[in-house]
Amino acid sequence: MTIVPVSLGERSYDVRIEAGLLDRACDALESYATSRPFLVITDEHVAARQWPRLETSLAKAGLQTELVVLPAGESTKSWRHLEALTDRMIEHGIERRDHVIALGGGVIGDLVGFAASIVKRGCHFIQIPTTLLAQVDSSVGGKTAINSRAGKNLLGAFHQPSLVLIDPDTLDTLGRREVAAGYAEVVKYGLIDDTQFFEWCEANGPALLEGDGQARAYAIAKSVAAKATIVAQDERETSGKRALLNLGHTFGHALEAETGFSDRLLHGEAVAAGMALAFGYSVRRGECSGQDAGRVSAHLRAVGLPVSLADVGVTASGARLVEHMLHDKKMSAGTLPFLLARGIGETYLAKDVLLDDVADYLDDLPR
Ligand code: NAD
Ligand code: GLY
């Protein structure tokens, strides 16, 4: 088993990563049991495909459970479901010292984490992420949220889990498109500050996408360790360090908004195209070599991820796409910092970007 500590003083916790861990989850969860059954929150897809493994493991150890099954999809990160879930937690008799369990992708993790942050002014939660995106990104670091009418993730809290259990085998039941979308976030860690890891991705990404167990476990452990390091330095995204994790997200956000935050473009796919656009824009500014930008696009394309406006079917003008960026929650004092790159593994936060120049860049790209 790989154990990655997330060092945050009294909010520190471990991320445990091991193939088959879900079938042995009782070993890790036993010490969190109380006189009440564990409340496990999941979605309908994960309930059918992965919950039976967790239920069997907990039952073997004599641990009682109650399951809450929510609809799958982004629309579950809503006031309506937050209200219903918090009501259910209170009816269940949750106390501040109790732990609820989030079993699922980023939608379930974000919703359950937010509910845990407010019930009884904060109870505990454990993340058992079942998508690659949740395993390498959203389950670690304590960002929790629901969406508001005005935009994605606008209502939320920083609330760290007590434990994260990652079983890469859960990805066996996840569709290839979802795995590829999560893989974009893996590549992101290489592009931020780890050239060698990007090279590893170039060599091993295709095998990972085909389900190679060793590649999967290595990429997850490496990604979690990279995220844990950044979160430990800048838990609340105040120093600019954690902002590096948003590489590709500003361009990606515009693409997601333009495609209606729908299944037309998954979040990780938008991040892939957004990272390629950020590298392209860095080349235009004379800061990054065309060769590095070409390598980024070539690798993402090789695993089936989109890298251009044409790939995602977006024909909107640069001005319209920039308008979407202005609604991004990263706006600060009327300016929008951009994550740009001086090369692979050399991402930095640029605060001097002129939005008109970004619009011109986007207008010059083929549709
Ligand atoms: P998701 O939770 O919607 O899961 C994607 C789909 O896969 C769903 O249909 C789900 O039911 C299904 N699924 C999950 N695990 C499965 C499995 N093992 N087998 C079969 N099907 C399975 O989406 P996601 O991509 O995991 O997460 C996206 C969410 O994460 C977004 O809301 C995004 O805002 C959020 N996010 C949060 C953070 C953070 O730091 N908190 C970071 C990145 C993304
Ligand atoms: N996914 C970005 C962050 O956790 O900060």
Per residue in 177-222, pLDDT tens? 999 999 999 999 999 999 999 999 999 999 999 999 999 999 999 9
Cβ atoms 21, 50 nearer than 8 A: no
Which residue CA neighbors atom 2 of ligand 2 most closely? 245
Q: Which of 156, 173, 190 is the last residue of a domain?
A: 173
Pick from 343, 328, 338: nearest CA to 358: 338
User: Is the domain of 164 the same as that of 191?
Assistant: no
Report the CATH number that the domain containing residue 306 is assigned in CATH: 1.20.1090.10
Phi, psi of 305 (to 5 degrees): -95, 150
Indicate if the pLDDT at residue 334 is higher than 70. Answer: no
User: Is the domain of 271 the same as that of 286?
Assistant: yes
Cβ atoms 300, 334 nearer than 8 A: no
User: Is the domain of 317 the same as that of 356?
Assistant: yes
User: Is the domain of 47 the same as that of 99?
Assistant: yes
Question: Could you give the number of structural domains in the chain?
Answer: 2
49-74 pLDDT, tens digit each: 999 999 999 999 999 999 999 999 99
pLDDT of residue 217: 98
User: Is the domain of 210 the same as that of 84?
Assistant: no
- Percent pLDDT > 90 in the chain is 94
Report the CATH number that the domain containing residue 51 is assigned in CATH: 3.40.50.1970
pLDDT of residue 150: 83
Pick from 64, 76, 2, 79: nearest CA to 30: 64
* Residue 204 is a catalytic residue: no
User: Is the domain of 87 the same as that of 196?
Assistant: no
User: Is the domain of 107 the same as that of 218?
Assistant: no
* Residue 246 is a catalytic residue: yes
User: Is the domain of 207 the same as that of 165?
Assistant: no
* Residue 124 is a catalytic residue: no
- Percent pLDDT > 70 in the chain is 98
Which residue CA neighbors atom 3 of ligand 2 most closely? 245
User: Is the domain of 210 the same as that of 69?
Assistant: no
pLDDT of residue 151: 84
Whether ligand 1 lies within 6 angstroms of the CB of 216 is answered as no
The best mutation among 23, 45, 77 to test binding of ligand 1, ranked by most ligand atoms within 8 Å of the C-beta, falls on 45
pLDDT of residue 336: 85
Q: Which of 145, 173, 201 is the last residue of a domain?
A: 173
| Cα–ligand 1 centroid distance for 363 (angstroms) | 32
Cβ atoms 173, 131 nearer than 8 A: no
pLDDT of residue 332: 67
Domain range for 289: 176-363
* Residue 241 is a catalytic residue: no
132-167 pLDDT, tens digit each: 999 999 999 999 999 998 888 999 999 999 999 999
User: Is the domain of 167 the same as that of 216?
Assistant: no
Q: Which of 137, 154, 173 is the last residue of a domain?
A: 173
Average pLDDT of the segment spanning 17-24: 98
Instruction: Show the 3-state SS of the chain.
Output: CEEEEECCHHHCEEEEECCCHHHHHHHHHHHHCCCCCEEEEEEHHHHHHCHHHHHHHHHHCCCCEEEEEECCCHHHCCHHHHHHHHHHHHHHCCCCCCEEEEEECHHHHHHHHHHHHHHHHCCEEEEEECCHHHHHHHCCCCEEEEEECCEEEEEEEECCCCEEEECHHHHHHCCHHHHHHHHHHHHHHHHHHCHHHHHHHHHHHHHHHCCCHHHHHHHHHHHHHHHHHHHHHCCCCCCCCHHHHHCCHHHHHHHHHHCCCCCCCCHHHHHHHHHHHHHHHHHHCCCCCHHHHHHHHHHHHHCCCCCCHHHHCCCCCHHHHHHHHHCCCCCECCECCEEEECCCCCEEEECCCCHHHHHHHHHCCCC
User: Is the domain of 161 the same as that of 52?
Assistant: yes
| Cα–ligand 2 centroid distance for 141 (angstroms) | 7
Instruction: List the Cα angle 148/150/154 in 5-degree steps.
Output: 50
Mean pLDDT for the chain overall? 96
Pick from 296, 202, 294: nearest CA to 247: 296
Whether ligand 2 lies within 6 angstroms of the CB of 141 is answered as yes
pLDDT of residue 329: 64
Residue for token pair 């009816």: 91
pLDDT category of residue 78 using cuts at 50, 70 and 90: very high
User: Is the domain of 55 the same as that of 190?
Assistant: no
| Cα–ligand 1 centroid distance for 38 (angstroms) | 22
